[in-house]
Chain A
Amino acid sequence: MSGLLIIGSSQAGVQLAVSLRALGHEGPITLLGEENHRPYQRPALSKEFLQDVITKESLIFRTQEYWDEHRIRVVKNERVVRIDKHADGSGVAHAISGAQFPFDRLALTVGARARRLPLPGADLPGVLYLRNADDALELKARVPAVQDVVVIGGGFIGIEAAASLRKLGKTVTLVEAGPRLVGRAVGDETAEFLRAHHAAAGIEVLLGAEVGRIIPRAERGDRVGGVEVDGRTIPADLVLVGVGVVPNTELAESIGLACDNGIVVDRYAVASDGVTLAVGDVANQPNPVPGAPDGDRVRFESVNNAVEQAKVAAYSITGRQEEYAGIPWFWSNQGDLKLQIAGLSSGHDRTVVRRDDARGRFSVLYYRCGRIIAADCVNNPLDFMAVKSALAQGASIPPDEAADPATPLKSITRNDPR
Chain B
Amino acid sequence: MAQITYTDTTGDARTVTATVGDSVMETAVRNGVPGIVAECGGSLSCATCHVFVDDADFAGLPPMEDMEDEMLYGAAVDRGPTSRLSCQIKVVEEMDLHVTTPETQV
State yes or no: do A and B come from one complex. yes
Q: Is B49 an interface residue (CB 8 A)?
A: no
B73 touches which of A304, A329, A385 (Cβ 8 Å): A385
Contact B74 A60 (CB under 8 A): no
Q: Is A338 an interface residue (CB 8 A)?
A: yes
Q: Is A381 an interface residue (CB 8 A)?
A: yes
A399 to B26, CA, bound (A): 39
Q: Is B82 an interface residue (CB 8 A)?
A: no
CB distance from B74 to the nearest CB of A (A): 2
Please report the number of residue pairs spanning A and B whose Cβ atoms sit closer than 8 angstroms. Answer: 69
A381 to B43, CA, bound (A): 12
Contact A44 B45 (CB under 8 A): no
Q: Which residue of A lies closest to B40 (CB)?
A: A331
Q: Which residue of B lies closest to A382 (CB)?
A: B70
Contact B73 A331 (CB under 8 A): no
Which B48-76 residues have a C-beta within 8 angstroms of A?
67, 70-71, 73-74
B30 touches which of A48, A63, A382, A410 (Cβ 8 Å): A63
A385 to B44, CA, bound (A): 12
Q: Which interface class (under 10, 10 to 19, 20 to 34, 35 or more) fits A?
A: 35 or more
Main secondary structure of the interface of B (DSSP, over half): loop
Q: Would you give the 0/1 interface string for B2-33, flagging 1 where the beta carbon is closer than 8 Å to chain A?
A: 00000000000000000000110010011110
Contact B42 A381 (CB under 8 A): no
Q: Is A414 an interface residue (CB 8 A)?
A: no
Contact B40 A386 (CB under 8 A): no
Q: Is B47 an interface residue (CB 8 A)?
A: yes
Interfacial chain A residues near B97, Cβ < 8 Å: none
Q: Which residue of B lies closest to A332 (CB)?
A: B45
Q: Is A170 an interface residue (CB 8 A)?
A: no
Contact B34 A47 (CB under 8 A): no
Interfacial chain A residues near B36, Cβ < 8 Å: none
CB distance from B78 to the nearest CB of A (A): 11
Interfacial chain A residues near B34, Cβ < 8 Å: 22
Interface residues of B (CB under 8 A from A): 22-23, 26, 29-32, 34, 39-47, 67, 70-71, 73-74, 106
Would you mind naming 29 contact pairs between A and B with Cβ atoms under 8 Å apart?
Answer: A44-B41, A47-B43, A48-B43, A58-B22, A58-B26, A61-B29, A62-B29, A62-B32, A63-B30, A69-B32, A70-B32, A303-B39, A303-B40, A304-B39, A326-B106, A331-B40, A331-B43, A331-B45, A333-B43, A338-B45, A338-B67, A381-B67, A381-B71, A382-B74, A385-B47, A385-B70, A385-B73, A388-B74, A389-B74
